[in-house]
Amino acid sequence: MPSAITETLTMKSVIDAKAARSRTKSVITWLLSAIVLLLFHFCSIVKQGRMKRPLFIGYG
């Protein structure tokens, strides 16, 4: 009987560890996606600002 309880506790701890890893991966994926979207948004704002004024006017 004690071995069945030990086996059940071991199985629960393995399941908990897998769930924790899955949550960690989900959070990291979400954060990276948010960072990429923010960078695209920031770059589009910078590009719009640069389109209003030329970077180089020439030698004239």
Q: How far apart are CA 4 and CA 57, in angstroms?
A: 80
Report domain extents, the chain.
1-52
Report pLDDT for 57.
67
Find the mean pLDDT for residues 38-43.
Answer: 94
Q: How far apart are CA 54 and CA 47, in angstroms?
A: 11
11-36 pLDDT, tens digit each: 999 999 999 999 999 999 999 999 99
This prediction's pTM: 0.63
43-52 pLDDT, tens digit each: 998 888 777 7
Q: In the numeric block, which tokens belong to residue 41?
A: 């948004």
